[in-house]
Structure 1
Amino acid sequence: MAYTLDFEKPLADLDRQIQALQKKGERLKPEESKNLDSLKQRLQQTTKEIYEHLTPWQTVQVARHPGRPHSIDYVKLICDDFFELRGDRAYGENASIFGGPAQLGDKTVMFLCQEKGREMKERRDRNAGQPHPEGFRKAHRLMEQAEKFKLPLVCLVDTPGASIALDDEERGQSQAIAANLYLMAQLRVPIIAVVIGEGGSGGALALSIGDRILMLENSYYSVASPESAATILLRDAKHAATMAEAMQVSARQLKKLGIIDELIREPLGGAHQNYEEAAKILKEALLSNLTELQKHTTDELLTQRYQKYRSIGPVGTYTE
């Protein structure tokens, strides 16, 4: 995988040297072979050092990496079976959110996922992961189906935020998001939400009220994107890095703050470096949390869910 981010320049330099030596193949001299092994070790060690000390803004950059696994990639890799359900039964279909029942290990669950798309046409069809109100209404319908058939709900969150187009507002965007928040707070099945990349604003919150909130270690979760916050508060998006630090948006910071329940590690250098390993780690985390949640009665889950959100925000909880 190419190293394209600014802070990855040392890694890109090492990678170029490695590739130059590897191209020689059988013509590689003994001393060059020894140098190749040394470069590979340096690349691994340097990658570890950089990714263990990412700034909040660097974390945002990794969360947006174009090669990062999307929800659809994880569903394909971790589910033995998945049946997509479409439409909100009121207006139409919105591909920014997809979902349906799936077999996850030995458990049948209801998946709800946000998807940005990759190629130009797919990104247009999925509105780059910014759901329209019919997407949230479809999610609401599938949540009710999960409760009806007693299926645990698993939400994969990856959105810069809900669509803010005028016609979306006219079709009830805010009401659709609010309805999801209200429903998830009282849904009588276990709920796990995982932020796998971007967790932006109400678009993310509409799928992340649950019993367990997990985050991949190189993801972020925030009331607004750093650029939006910088534009609103400092009148210029160029201050995004400063705002990312002030808002404490990274997964590691949010774990220390007690906003999320678990940090899911990623393969060395980020999930985009190894889809299969990232998916395996995510699946293990989901199954482990589902097993724990299913030990509780429904009333216990609802009580704990209520207390979870009531306890967020006390002053002085953050420590370095």
Structure 2
Amino acid sequence: MKELTTYDRVLIARDKKRPQVSKYIEELFDDFIELKGDRLSGDDESILGGIAMFHGTPVTIIGQRKGKSLEESMRFNFGMCSPEGYRKGMRLMKEAERFHRPIITFIDTPGAYPGKEAEEHGQANAIAESMALMSSLKVPIIAIITGEGNSGGALALSVADKIWMLENSIFAVLSPEGFASILWKDGSLAPKASEVMKITAKELYDFGLIDDVIAEDRNMFKVIDKKLQKEISSLQKLSQNTLIENRYLKFRNIDEKKKALKVIKE
């Protein structure tokens, strides 16, 4: 069987047939209750969030959704979140901290919405505030990248104690097309760009930038279920100060890992 190229995995990550956040909720959690709105200006449906039970433990779930049909995709803005969406996420995170609920995020986005209205409503600030908030939350956070994890749109929900990626998902500073357009002025060179960018789950795991890779087979949901049980139980045993300190060190040490990556490239 021919080995998949990086760009093959990019295309798989974008496939509309892949399970979206609603499927993960259906397979892994019970009694999900959706919570809407940012309590300021509106509700962004590209982010689905709420409360659910996980093996008897109440948890908060926040996930990005692209939609399956054209109608759904337009309704969810193709998974490109607005400031209202990130503010909704932050509202749910603060509530989770207040009631001592672990947070699980599902990430699948081509990037935050770059439109004029989003910028006028504080897109960059919303992303930065979300990252800052997650860095200081006193409850366990687990982020699972299920498809595309591009740009600040993904980073806004991935400052977590544990970051997992599905084997055919990607995690990148921007899309390969965007990278190629900036670097070589030719978006058609996206396949070449994807190889240079080092964005696959295996590459990022090897560099120590994520914590685990989840195989995409018929046992995937069972594997995620068991891993969530184990990690939530383990993280809940830590004191709040230890949890925050470990999270800080996790991301602080990325700088050293980036230096190692630079040496390897050279």
What TM-score do you get using the length of structure 2 for normalisation? 0.95
The 3-state SS of whatever aligns with 1:150 is: coil
Which secondary structure does the structure 2 equivalent of 1:286 belong to?
Answer: helix
Aligned partner of 1:280 among 222, 225, 234:
222
User: CA offset at residue 132 of structure 1?
Assistant: 0.8
Question: Structure 1: how far apart are the matches of 2:226 and 2:134?
Answer: 24
In the alignment, is residue 72 of structure 1 matched against residue 3 of structure 2? no
The residue number in structure 1 matching 2:47 is 97
User: 2:248 is matched with which residue?
Assistant: 306
Q: Which ranges in structure 2 are unaligned for 5 or more consecutive residues?
A: none
Indicate how the Cα distance of structure 1 residues 86 and 135 shifts in structure 2: closer, same or farther if over 3 A, else same. Answer: same
Contact 2:178 2:187 in 1 (8 A): yes
Distance 1:115 1:105 in 2: 24
The structure whose residues are more often strand, as a share, is: 2
Partners of 2:239 and 2:4 in 1: CA distance: 40
| SS of corresponding position for 1:195 | strand
> Which structure 2 residues correspond to residues 244-255 of structure 1 after superposition, within 5 A?
244-255=194-205
Q: Counterparts of 2:147 and 2:225 in 1: how far apart (Å)?
A: 16
CA distance in structure 2 between the partners assigned to 1:233 and 1:94 by the alignment: 33
CA-based RMSD of the aligned residues comes to 1.5
Identical aligned residues as a percent = 41
The aligned residue for residue 316 of structure 1 is 260
The aligned residue for residue 59 of structure 2 is: 109
SS at the partner of 1:60? Answer: helix
Q: State the one-letter code of the partner of 1:283.
A: D
CA shift, 1:102, in A, is 0.7
> After TM superposition, what 4+ stretches of structure 1 lie above 3 angstroms from structure 2?
317-320
Please show how residues 199-278 of structure 1 align to structure 2 within 5 Å: 199-267=149-217, 274=218, 277-278=219-220
Residues 3-51 of structure 1, C-alpha deviations (whole Å, 9 max, x = no match): xxxxxxxxxxxxxxxxxxxxxxxxxxxxxxxxxxxxxxxxxxx4xxx4x
Deviation at 1:278, TM superposition (A): 2.7
Aligned AA (2:260): G
Residue 229 (structure 1) shift: 0.5
Distance in 1, matches of 2:176 and 2:55, equals 37
2:68 is the alignment partner of 1:118: yes
Structure 1 unaligned spans of 5+: 1-45, 268-273
Once residues 237 and 6 of structure 2 are traced to their aligned partners in structure 1, the CA distance between those partners, rounded to angstroms, is 36
SS in 1 for 2:209: coil
Q: Distance in 1 between matches of 2:9 and 2:57?
A: 32
Distance 2:203 2:103 in 1: 26
Change beyond 3 A, Cα 1:135–1:122: same
Report the number of matched residues: 262
Larger Cα Rg: Structure 1 or Structure 2? 1
Q: In the alignment, is residue 296 of structure 1 matched against residue 238 of structure 2? A: yes
